[in-house]
Structure 1
C-alpha cells in the first residue's frame, strides 16, 4: 500500500475518534450540559445525521474540485466544527458542532476512498478500503480509550482538542504525500447519479445500514451497560472498550485480506455471529464473563465487515466519490437508527439492556436482507449449469 493510503486512514481515524468518543464520556457530557444519558446519545445521532444529509450534498458540490484539494478543504471544515465542540458552553452549541463535523466527515470518507482506489490496482480495492477504513477500527482501539482517559484526568474538552491536533496533522501530511490530481472536468453529476438506478446497489446499501445499526445500537450504550448492569468500575470501561477496539482491528485485518475473494461469506458469517453475540449479551448482561466475551465478539464481527460491504458496493456500482459517500451516509444512517432506537427503548423504560435486543433484531433483518442476493446467485448458478449441460449435449 502506498504511504498516502495510510495518511487517508489517519484522517479517518481522527474523525471517527471524534464520532465515537461521545459514547465513552456520556457521564461527563450529561453533567456538563444538564441532560440525560439518552440525550447525550443523540449527539452521536446528530453527527451521523450530518453525515447522512450533508455528506452527499457537499460531495456533489466538490465533484469538479481536484480530489486532493477536496480532501484538504473537508479537513478544514471539520477543524472548525471540532473546535466549536471543544469550546461548547451549551448542549445546543455542542449539537451544532456535531452536525458540522458529521457533514464534513461523510464527504471525507467518500473522497478518501475515491483517492485510495486510484492509487492501487483493481484487485487490491478491498485491501485499500481495509487500510483507509482501518482508521475507523483503530479509533475504537486507541482513539476512544485515549479520549476516555483524557476525559477522566484532564476533562472532556482535552479530548476534543486532541482530535483537533490529529486532524491538523493528517492535513499537513496529506498536503505532502497525496499525489496531485487534475481537475476532474470529465465528471458529470448526471453520470454519477446514473449509478443509483441500480437496484442491487440499494440492496447492498440496505445490508450495510442494518449491519452498522445492529452494532451501534449496542456500542453506543456499552459504557452505561458495563458499569450499571454488569458492574464494572468506571476505570475499567476504557480498558474494555480498548479490547473491543483491538478486536475490530483484528477483524478488519482478516476481512480486508479476504474481502475481494469471499465477500458474501464474510457478510453472512459476520451477521450471524454478531446477532448471536448480542442475544447472549442481552440474556446475561449481569455476567462479567459473558459481557467481556460479547464485547470482543461484537468487535470482531460488527464494524470489521466494512471492507466486504465496500467491496460489494464497488462491484455492483463504481468507485466514484458520490457512490462511496452515499454508502458512508447509509452507514451513518445505520448509526442513527441503532443509537436512536437504543435511546428510545431506554427512555421508554425497557432498561439499559434494551439496546442489545434492538441490535439483535436489526442483525436478524440484516440476514434476511441477504436472501434475495443469495436466491439470485443460486438462480444464476443453475442457469450456467443448465447452459453447460446443453452445450455438452450439443457437442455429443
Structure 2
C-alpha cells in the first residue's frame, strides 16, 4: 500500500539534483554579458553556449539512456551526476571560448538521461492519481533554479566573475551526488527487464508528434529567454543589478507555473494545454509593448515564465502518459526535445539580433512559434491515437 503523501526523501533528493542541473543549464543566460566581455566574443556568439549545451543534451541523452538503461537505477543516477560535476569543473577552468563550449557540451550529456529517468521514477513512486504532482515536485528543483540559482549566480558572476558562479555549480553537483547516494534506494530499473519492449513502444506516432511539439514549445521559450538580459538592459534600460531582481521575479513565475502544470495535468491535460498555450501567446505579444516600461515588463516576464513552464510540465506529463512501457526512454527523448528547441530558439533569437531588428521583436517571433505549437497540440488531440491521453485507472 503506497503512502498517500506525494513528497518523499527519494523525491527530495531528485529535486535537489534537478536544481543543480537546472542552474547549470539556465545560469549562462544571466552570464552572457560577462562571458562575452571576458572571452572577447559578441553576445550572439556567446549565445552558442546555450545552443551547444542544448545540442549536447539532444545527442548525449539517447546515447547515455541506452548505456545506463540496463543498470540499477541508483548506480545510473550516480554515474550521470558524476559526469555533470566533472563537466562543470571543466567549464570553471576553461581557458577560452571554444574550450568552454566543449565543456558545456560534455556536461550536457548527462542532463537528459538523469532528468528523464528521474521524472519516470517520481511518477512511479507517487500515490495513484498524483503522478503529475509528484513529477512536478521533482521538476520544482529546475524551476527553483530560476528563482534562486540563476539570479544569485548572475549576481555572483557580476561581482566575482563568471568562473566563481561555475564553482558554485560544482558544489551543487557534489551535494546532489551525496544526496542521491544516501536517499535514493537501490532498485532495479523498469527498463532493465523491458528494453526491447520499451524501444518497440516508441513506434507510436503520437509519441513522436508529442516530441516535435516539445521542440516547438521550447524553441518559443528560449528564443526569448536566452536574450532576456540584453532586452532588459537595452530596451527596458535597467541597471545590471536590477536585471538580477527581474530574473528573480520571473523565476517566481516559473516556479508557480511548474507547480500549476502538475495539478493541471492531473485535472485535464487536453484543455489545460490548449488554454495555457493561448494565454502564453497573448503574454508574448503583450511584452513587445510592456518591454519599454520597467514594472510592466517585469510583471509580464513573471506571467510569461509561469505559462511557459506550465506548458513544459504538461508536455512532459503527456509524453510519460502516452509512452507506457517506453516511459523511461521517451521521457529522456523529451528532455532532449526540449533542449533541441532550446538550441533552435537561441539560434533564432540570435538571427533576429544579427538582422538588426529591435531586441523586443524577438517576443513576436516567439509568439509565432507558440502559435505553431498550439496547432500541433490540436492536431495531436484530434489524432486516432488520442485515447492514449487518458491516464490508466488508479489501480494500474
Structure 1 length-normalised TM: 0.92
Instruction: Kindly indicate whether the alpha-carbon contact (under 8 Å) linking 1:260 and 1:308 is maintained by their aligned counterparts in 2.
Output: no
1:72 to 55, 65, 78: 78
The alignment status of 1:363 with 2:370, answered yes or no, reads yes
2:140 to 131, 134, 159: 134
What is the CA–CA distance in structure 1 between the aligned matches of 2:386 and 2:249, rounded to whole Å? 42
Match of 1:328 in 2: 335
Secondary structure of the residue that 1:179 maps to in structure 2? coil
What is the CA–CA distance in structure 2 between the aligned matches of 1:167 and 1:235, rounded to whole Å? 26
Match of 1:317 in 2: 323
What is the CA–CA distance in structure 2 between the aligned matches of 1:198 and 1:122, rounded to whole Å? 25
Residues 340-374 of structure 1, C-alpha deviation per residue, up to 9 Å, x if partnerless? 11011111222322321221111110111122234
What is the CA–CA distance in structure 2 between the aligned matches of 1:350 and 1:180, rounded to whole Å? 53
Residues 26-57 of structure 1, C-alpha deviation per residue, up to 9 Å, x if partnerless? 11100111000011111011111000011111
Residues 177-198 of structure 1, C-alpha deviation per residue, up to 9 Å, x if partnerless? 1011136685344322112211
Instruction: Kindly indicate whether the alpha-carbon contact (under 8 Å) linking 2:254 and 2:307 is maintained by their aligned counterparts in 1.
Output: yes
Equivalences, count: 380
Larger radius of gyration: 1
Structure 2 length-normalised TM: 0.92
Instruction: Kindly indicate whether the alpha-carbon contact (under 8 Å) linking 2:69 and 2:192 is maintained by their aligned counterparts in 1.
Output: no
The alignment status of 1:347 with 2:354, answered yes or no, reads yes
Per-residue deviation, 1:132: 1.1
Judged with a 3 Å threshold, the aligned counterparts in structure 2 of structure 1 residues 236 and 200 are, in CA distance, closer, same or farther, namely same
What is the CA–CA distance in structure 1 between the aligned matches of 2:369 and 2:312, rounded to whole Å? 17
Judged with a 3 Å threshold, the aligned counterparts in structure 2 of structure 1 residues 33 and 279 are, in CA distance, closer, same or farther, namely same
Q: Could you tell which deviates more after superposition, 73-82 or 262-271?
A: 262-271
Instruction: Kindly indicate whether the alpha-carbon contact (under 8 Å) linking 1:273 and 1:297 is maintained by their aligned counterparts in 2.
Output: no
Name structure 1 gaps, 5 residues minimum.
381-396
Instruction: Kindly indicate whether the alpha-carbon contact (under 8 Å) linking 1:4 and 1:174 is maintained by their aligned counterparts in 2.
Output: yes
Per-residue deviation, 1:134: 1.1
Name structure 2 gaps, 5 residues minimum.
1-6, 388-396
What is the CA–CA distance in structure 2 between the aligned matches of 1:118 and 1:256, rounded to whole Å? 14
The alignment status of 1:200 with 2:223, answered yes or no, reads no
Q: Could you tell which deviates more after superposition, 120-129 or 81-90?
A: 120-129
Match of 2:69 in 1: 63
Instruction: Kindly indicate whether the alpha-carbon contact (under 8 Å) linking 1:45 and 1:336 is maintained by their aligned counterparts in 2.
Output: yes
What is the CA–CA distance in structure 1 between the aligned matches of 2:52 and 2:361, rounded to whole Å? 21
Per-residue deviation, 1:285: 2.6
Residues 94-119 of structure 1, C-alpha deviation per residue, up to 9 Å, x if partnerless? 00111011111111111212322332
What is the CA–CA distance in structure 2 between the aligned matches of 1:262 and 1:108, rounded to whole Å? 27
The alignment status of 1:156 with 2:159, answered yes or no, reads no
Match of 1:210 in 2: 216
Secondary structure of the residue that 1:317 maps to in structure 2? helix
Judged with a 3 Å threshold, the aligned counterparts in structure 2 of structure 1 residues 273 and 264 are, in CA distance, closer, same or farther, namely same
Q: How does 1:21-100 map to 2 (within 5 A)?
A: 21-100=27-106
What is the CA–CA distance in structure 2 between the aligned matches of 1:75 and 1:100, rounded to whole Å? 12
What is the CA–CA distance in structure 1 between the aligned matches of 2:204 and 2:383, rounded to whole Å? 15
Judged with a 3 Å threshold, the aligned counterparts in structure 2 of structure 1 residues 149 and 186 are, in CA distance, closer, same or farther, namely closer
Match of 1:392 in 2: none
Indicate the RMSD between aligned Cα atoms, in angstroms. 1.8
Q: Could you tell which deviates more after superposition, 328-337 or 288-297?
A: 288-297
What is the CA–CA distance in structure 2 between the aligned matches of 1:265 and 1:60, rounded to whole Å? 34
What is the CA–CA distance in structure 2 between the aligned matches of 1:183 and 1:280, rounded to whole Å? 46
What is the CA–CA distance in structure 1 between the aligned matches of 2:61 and 2:383, rounded to whole Å? 32
Per-residue deviation, 1:278: 1.1
What is the CA–CA distance in structure 2 between the aligned matches of 1:378 and 1:74, rounded to whole Å? 34
Instruction: Kindly indicate whether the alpha-carbon contact (under 8 Å) linking 1:59 and 1:325 is maintained by their aligned counterparts in 2.
Output: yes
What is the CA–CA distance in structure 2 between the aligned matches of 1:325 and 1:186, rounded to whole Å? 15
Per-residue deviation, 1:378: 12
Secondary structure of the residue that 2:188 maps to in structure 1? coil
1:246 to 245, 252, 262: 252
